[in-house]
A and B are shown apart, each in its own frame.
Chain A
């Protein structure tokens, strides 16, 4: 009798999870336990069509499914809600098969209708979802259609390399469709922070349990989740996932030091030291991995090629000038002083952690003031005037303003180090921090005649794992083609040859499907950028993660990276005690 019951249970379990996703953790874990992290700011919404900032999407990603993602071990595409895919028509069509038996937390099945509905809403111009760019390729739409209940098909206007990365959130159609029919405003009002958590339906590893504004978000395990571990035990292992909102970095550190938060990323050497000291004093059972990787963020200087002063425009367009500026960057001091000794120099546009595409084999214009002086002399700046500034034959002083956004101490220090080195050889750099929004305005809003007013800006962009997603920076008509910006979405009026090459490489990279060929293209892209320096990269801050030893299922030190984090999947993290 007992055997039959057991078999019956097995059959039932099989019916509920016909095609579960196997999450390969670093070790087999045990059920139960809580995971507590801190977040710098409150979520803004639970609605994935409204969410624009990580404080919201970090939580939404715990309870809403998506088709595919990156394999945390190989960074290759990996199925999530999609169990497999098939590429047809030379890459113009991708057919995704969904996991049969996957269910929302309210018991309804997750089907192709949910996927197609979500794609439709994300692509809707009126909704303005943050994921809308995933549905347009060079101005043409990517069409999503239902094949059958568990199969969807995406048709691309041209071959698209990141076609397999479909990370937009899928919502339950039975909840969102009535609101969508009623209008965009109704849709956007759905699942706001005042919605009772019980009404938020989950299709991910956790579901929302409670939210106290300004304090914490609590999620609990979703028993209907479609994931298992390698022994077919259901995941997530964790019973409870708490995000504590702590708006101050030092207060976050205090929480970790008190053992009230399970993970922490130390921002600087001082914080690393505090954590280490406490571990050594035996007050905290934790591990910290200083400088184990660098973050994806970048810091760089960009010169204005659309300057209203023709002298400056011409100067900034000289590759010799930009190389001279690169030679003036004392990256060692920048790491020591601005980053507290934790960080790495950066030479090219692809972030160092992005192993799939990153190459270190690029031309490097290292710190060398003599060489800088020599290059500037070749440009005509041979003599110094009475005040000690370099001048050319016409008596024009070599001078420019450098601005960065106020309040970012790392950038402020990098800018100061650069200014001091430049001034030593007679380049008159005036440095000034300004308001972030003002800086963005100067950078992205040219006057009607196409000129912009700034000289040089030190700023950063958050990098990603997929280089094709940064095409707005590198393609000629991109909205973030910062050094040489066109007006009204057009190409800039005067274009250098290497910019055309970058544009071509970016377009080819985005449409090449073969991984090895893609890498070749992006390696060449990095070399062209590093050699011509439209953007002069400085230093990348270190990633210094720390965690309590009570956590299991985490990466060993060698595998930790700033893209994936400290654990391959949240599903396979567990509490040892």
Chain B
């Protein structure tokens, strides 16, 4: 096992060189460079164009440019952005974090909703709820993300008009000013409900565990949702009344900023997560059906095990194995951003920055992103393989 891990890690080195070299060449294959756009500016003369090329090192031979970039990488320096004139990390760092907010929330949403629905659909195959989920899944898969994003924006405008309130944000990640007063009042109003919910589910949980039963998924979910909500509302309840009605975002307390970001993220996460959710739901259903028709399930049922145990202990555990292999793919996805939705809904994630870098041919910004993604992809694959060996006793690495 140890030998396998070492071998896999060693393989990363040539893969890294190959991948980055290829990326570098592909970027250079595209016609023009960072300076090309300026050539159509009537106020620029030949001399300053040539000067600029020289200054940015774009006139040097490609091997030299690549070697220079690589020597920076070994010192942990991603290079200098041609258009921002600062190092690449300070251009993309914050944006990767912003994108991660979306991707993490969307991934959570996908897994938390898709797996239960998939299991439910498989167990209740061809019933009306299953058919409805199937239709919804196809819809979700069919709508392109960016278009759904636009629909969501106009939905937000329409909803806000209808209620004459700010129910949904019109794009963006934060507001310039935060209405702390509104947030505090909302928390005061909602807190009792959350508290009651927590108590109800807490009691259920306690009752079940006292009877020696494992709590159901619903109880878990209810307890977590209500419990976390009540905890989150403690901060505005305690701190809120003493604060001014309205403060600029940068001066607001952490809880207000987090709430504001989550509020903005809500419609975006729905848009980003829908297609993944729909896809995963179908895959889960298929997996589950596959497993449920296996002999050992029939054996388990024949033994007289309860249906719950058959489904959750025998079927589900086997059905989720393929998803473990997908976990490694999530890692590069985390920094890859949420795609065009970010552009459409003005989320300051990595996609708009990457698109700008590509259209401006800001080589090192593109290379920086590719490098980080490549490394994470490789590491993620190793992790997936190891996880697989761990959950599936049939797989052995030697």
Assess whether A210 is in contact with B346, with CB atoms less than 8 Å apart: no
Query: Which of chain B's residues have a CB closer than 8 A to the CB of A260?
Result: 170
Q: A215-B174, A246-B346, A254-B154 are in contact. Are A45 and B44 (CB under 8 A)?
A: no
Chain B residue nearest in CB terms to A463: B42
Q: Pick from A247, A257, A489 the residue with the most CB of B within 10 Å.
A: A247
A461 touches B361 (CB 8 A): no
B42:A469 contact, CB within 8 angstroms:
yes
In the complex, the answer to whether B176 meets A248 with C-beta atoms within 8 Å is no
Q: Is the CB of A212 within 8 A of B361?
A: no
From A44, A126, A480, B40 is in contact (CB under 8 Å) with: A480
Cβ < 8 Å to B, chain A residues 188-230: 188-189, 192-194, 210, 212-216, 218
A443 to B42 Cα, complex, angstroms: 14
Q: Fill in one digit per residue for A433-446: 1 if any B CB lies within 8 Å of its CB, else 0.
A: 00111101101100
Output the nearest chain B residue to A258 by Cβ-Cβ distance. Answer: B170
Beta-carbon contact of B44 and A133 below 8 Å: yes
Q: How far is the CB of B387 from chain A (nearest CB, A)?
A: 34
Say whether A368 faces chain B, with CB atoms less than 8 Å apart: no
Residue B7 lies at the interface, judged by CB distance under 8 Å to chain A: no
B32 touches A440 (CB 8 A): yes
A210 and B247 CA atoms in complex are apart in Å by 14
**Is the Cβ of B46 less than 8 Å from the Cβ of A193?**
no
A192 pairs with B85, CB closer than 8 A: yes
The listed residue (A132, A437, A480) touching B30 by CB distance below 8 A is: A437
Q: Is the CB of B85 within 8 A of A255?
A: no
Minimal beta-carbon separation of A226 from chain B (angstroms): 27
Other-chain contact of B157, A45, A50, A126, A258 (Cβ < 8 Å): A258
A-side contacts of B154, CB under 8 Å: 254
Residues of A within 8 A of B48 (CB): 128, 132-133
Residue of A nearest to B353 (CB): A214
Q: Which of A456-500 contact B (CB under 8 A)?
A: 459, 461-462, 464, 469-473, 479-480, 489
| A125 proximity list for chain B (CB < 8 A) | 51
A508 is an interface residue with CB less than 8 A from chain B: no
Per-residue contact bits, chain A 243-286, to B (CB 8 Å; 1 contact, 0 not): 01111101100110110100000000000000000000001000
Of residues 12 through 49 on chain B, the ones whose CB sits less than 8 Å from some CB of chain A are: 30-33, 36-46, 48-49
By the criterion CB–CB under 8 Å, are A210 and B250 in contact?
yes
* Chain A 519-552 interface residues, beta-carbon cutoff 8 Å to B: none
Q: What residues of chain A lie closer than 8 Å to B55, measured between beta carbons?
A: 126, 128
Q: Known contacts A192-B84, A194-B90, A210-B250; is A438 also within 8 Å of B348 by CB?
A: no
Residue B178 lies at the interface, judged by CB distance under 8 Å to chain A: no
Q: In the complex, what residue of chain A is closest to B81 when comparing beta carbons?
A: A44
A151 in contact (CB, < 8 A): no
List of A residues within 8 angstroms of B41 by Cβ: 462
A435 to B30, CA, bound (A): 9
User: Chain A's nearest CB lies how many Å from the CB of B252?
Assistant: 12
Sorting the interface of chain A by its residue count into under 10, 10 to 19, 20 to 34 or 35 or more gives: 35 or more
Separation of A52 and B39 alpha carbons in the complex (Å): 12
User: How far, in Å, is B351 (CB) from chain A's closest CB?
Assistant: 9
Contact indicator A244/B172 (Cβ below 8 Å): yes
A472 and B346 contacting across the interface, CB-CB below 8 Å: no
Determine whether the beta carbon of B37 is less than 8 Å from that of A470. Answer: no
Q: Are B40 and A459 in contact (CB under 8 A)?
A: yes
Q: Tell whether, in the assembled complex, residue A128 and residue B84 are in contact, meaning their CB atoms are under 8 Å apart.
A: no
Quick one: which of B48, B49, B349 has the most chain A CB within 10 A? B48
B84 touches A44 (CB 8 A): yes
Q: How far is the CA of A246 from the CA of B157 in the complex (A)?
A: 16
Known: A213-B348, A251-B345. A461 touches B31 (CB 8 A): no
Q: How far is the CA of A128 from the CA of B56 in the complex (A)?
A: 11
Partner of B44, one of A50, A213, A472: A472
A244 proximity list for chain B (CB < 8 A): 172, 176, 346
Tell yes or no: B59 within 8 A of A by CB: no
Q: How far is the CB of A157 from chain B (nearest CB, A)?
A: 15
A562 sits at the interface (CB 8 A): no
* A26 lies within 8 A of chain B by Cβ: no
Contacts of B98 in A (CB 8 A): 214
The CA of A444 and the CA of B37, in the complex, are separated in Å by 11
B348 A47 Cβ-Cβ under 8 A:
no
Closest to A439 in B: B31
By the criterion CB–CB under 8 Å, are A435 and B173 in contact?
Answer: no
Q: List, in ascending order, chain A residues with CB within 8 A of B46's CB.
A: 479, 489
Asked whether A215 lies within 8 Å of B84 as measured between CB atoms, the reply is no
Q: Which among A128, A188, A469 has the highest number of chain B CB atoms within 10 Å? A: A128
A247-B346 contact given A189-B86, A254-B154, A435-B30, CB 8 Å threshold: yes
Say if the beta carbon of B392 comes within 8 Å of chain A: no
Q: Mark B234-262, 1 if CB is under 8 A from A, else 0.
A: 00000000000000111000000000000
Are B40's CB and A437's CB within 8 A?
no
Asked if B42 and A461 make an inter-chain contact with CB atoms under 8 angstroms apart, the answer reads: yes
Check if A215 sits within 8 Å of B85, measured CB to CB: no
Q: A189-B86, A251-B344, A254-B170 are in contact. Are A437 and B37 (CB under 8 A)?
A: yes
Contacts of B346 in A (CB 8 A): 244-248, 251
Q: Which of chain A's residues has its CB closest to B31's CB?
A: A438
In Å, the complex CA distance between A228 and B37 comes to: 39
Tell yes or no: A242 within 8 A of B by CB: yes
Q: How far is the CB of A54 from chain B (nearest CB, A)?
A: 11
Beta-carbon nearest neighbor of B52 in chain A:
A128
Asked if residues A250 and B352 are in contact (CB atoms below 8 Å), the reply is no
Nearest 6 A/B pairs, CB to CB: A214-B348, A437-B32, A438-B31, A470-B42, A246-B346, A437-B31
Contact sample, A vs B, 19 pairs, CB 8 Å cutoff? A45-B85, A128-B52, A189-B85, A193-B84, A194-B86, A212-B174, A213-B95, A214-B353, A248-B344, A251-B345, A437-B361, A438-B31, A440-B36, A440-B40, A441-B32, A443-B40, A462-B41, A464-B42, A480-B42
Q: A132-B48, A248-B343 are in contact. List 9 more A-B contacts (CB 8 A).
A: A126-B55, A128-B51, A212-B348, A214-B347, A214-B349, A254-B157, A437-B30, A461-B42, A489-B46
